[in-house]
Structure 1
Amino acid sequence: MNPEFWHQKWHNAELGFHLLQVHPLLQRHLGELALKAGQTVFVPLCGKTLDIGYLLEKGYRVIGAELSVKAVTELFSSLNRPPVITPWQGGNRYQHGDLTIFQGDIFLLQPDDIGVPDAIYDRAALIALPEAMRERYARHLLTLTDKAPQLLITLEYDQQEMDGPPFSVAQEQVKSLYGSDYTIASLSRKMVLDHEPVFQERGLTALYENAFLLG
């Protein structure tokens, strides 16, 4: 997917993917990762999600990757954390205490840049990518994090009813992408269309939200 697509989304404030609350499934299932205080969570394609503030409040270090400068700037501003900004090979690194965000192309991020995180939280990365890019993303994420355990949230719907993003990623594709490297447990699957009028307007007749533990 062309990076300019996402730059335009942020420039035009077309942020339907940005939740105005901490994701309920993160609150419900974070304990499945069995993290200890001070451990590190990697959040790919993180935007300015409120989930990062929640993870920091729980005592974890957070490393994120995000393409948009606007998103990263607004994230640090919302947390009242003036960042130290330094370059890396794919863009700029924003850092304040236990929060580091690599702004730029996630595919240029290397294991030496982030160290070895203790867990991954993917709420909006895999479903943001068209099918042709998901295999590349999954392989890169595995290499980047040394197969750290993962809390993965996806959406599932009839892709013929609506163009993504967000794209539909069913359990079968999660298994196809990650099954050879993780044991995959389904934590929850819930119909959420009644609470998503925008998706109803886009033509969906059913929308499921799924949570998986990859470990």
Structure 2
Amino acid sequence: MNPEFWHQKWHNSELGFHLPQVHPLLQRYLGELSLKAGQTVFLPLCGKTLDIGYLLEQGYRVIGAELSDKAVTELFDSLNRQPVITDWQGGKRYQHGDLTVFQGDIFLLQSNDIETTDAIYDRAALIALPDAMRERYARHLVTLTDKAPQLLITLEYDQQQMDGPPFSVGELQVRSLYENDYRITPLSRKMILDHEPVFRERGLTALYENAFLLG
């Protein structure tokens, strides 16, 4: 997918993927990752999610990766943090205290950039990528974090009824991408179409939200 697509989304404030609250499934299942205070959670393609503030409040260190510089700037502004900005090989690094965000191309991010990762929280990264990019992304994430346990949230629907993004990623595809590296535990599957009228308007007759623990 052309990076310009996402830059344009942020430029036009077309942010249907941005939730106005902390994700309920993160609050419900964060404990499944068995994290200790001070440990590090990595958020790929993090945007300006409110989940970051929540994780920081729980006492965790957060590292994010995000393509859009506008998203990263708005994230730090929302947290009332003035970051130190430096260069890395894929873009700009924004850092303040226990929060670091790598703005730029996530595929250029290396394990020595982020050092130790204790867990991954993927709420909208895998489903933002077309099928042709998901295998590359999954392999990169596994290598980047040394198979850190992962809380993964996906959407699932009939892809013939609507073009992504977000794309449909069900349990079978999660297993095909990750089962060689993780034990995959489905945590929940819930029909959410009644709460997502925009997707009904786009032609969907069913929309499920799934949560998985990869450990």
Q: TM-score, normalised by structure 1?
A: 1.00
Cα distance in 1 between the residues matched to 2:82 and 2:38 = 21
- Does the alignment pair 1:87 with 2:87? yes
Which amino acid is the alignment partner of residue 56 of structure 1?
A: L
Q: Which residue number corresponds to residue 53 of structure 1? A: 53
Q: Which residue number corresponds to residue 24 of structure 1? A: 24
Cα distance in 1 between the residues matched to 2:82 and 2:116 = 25
- Does the alignment pair 1:167 with 2:136? no
Cα distance in 1 between the residues matched to 2:183 and 2:43 = 20
Cα distance in 2 between the residues matched to 1:160 and 1:54 = 36
- 1:135-182 Cα offsets, whole Å, 9 max, x none, are 000000000000000000000000000000000000000000000100
- Does the alignment pair 1:194 with 2:194? yes
Q: Which residue number corresponds to residue 181 of structure 2? A: 181
Following TM superposition, by how much is the alpha carbon of 1:24 offset from its aligned partner in structure 2, in angstroms?
0.3
Cα distance in 2 between the residues matched to 1:198 and 1:38 = 38
Question: What RMSD over aligned residues (CA atoms) do the two structures have, in Å?
Answer: 0.3
Following TM superposition, by how much is the alpha carbon of 1:116 offset from its aligned partner in structure 2, in angstroms?
1.9
Which amino acid is the alignment partner of residue 133 of structure 1?
A: M
Identity across matched positions, percent? 86
Cα distance in 2 between the residues matched to 1:114 and 1:86 = 14
Q: Which residue number corresponds to residue 141 of structure 1? A: 141
Cα distance in 2 between the residues matched to 1:120 and 1:49 = 15
Cα distance in 2 between the residues matched to 1:34 and 1:23 = 18
Which amino acid is the alignment partner of residue 184 of structure 1?
A: I
Q: Which residue number corresponds to residue 127 of structure 1? A: 127
Cα distance in 2 between the residues matched to 1:5 and 1:20 = 22
Cα distance in 2 between the residues matched to 1:7 and 1:167 = 18
Q: Which residue number corresponds to residue 152 of structure 2? A: 152
Cα distance in 1 between the residues matched to 2:51 and 2:188 = 19
Structure 2 unaligned residues grouped into runs of 5+ = none
Q: Which residue number corresponds to residue 7 of structure 1? A: 7
Which amino acid is the alignment partner of residue 207 of structure 2?
A: L
Equivalent residue runs for 1:92-111 within 5 Å: 92-111=92-111
Aligned partner of residue 63 in structure 2, secondary structure: strand
Count of matched residue positions in the alignment of Structure 1 and Structure 2? 215
- 1:63-95 Cα offsets, whole Å, 9 max, x none, are 000000000000000000100000000000000
Q: Which residue number corresponds to residue 72 of structure 1? A: 72
Aligned partner of residue 80 in structure 1, secondary structure: coil
Cα distance in 2 between the residues matched to 1:156 and 1:141 = 21
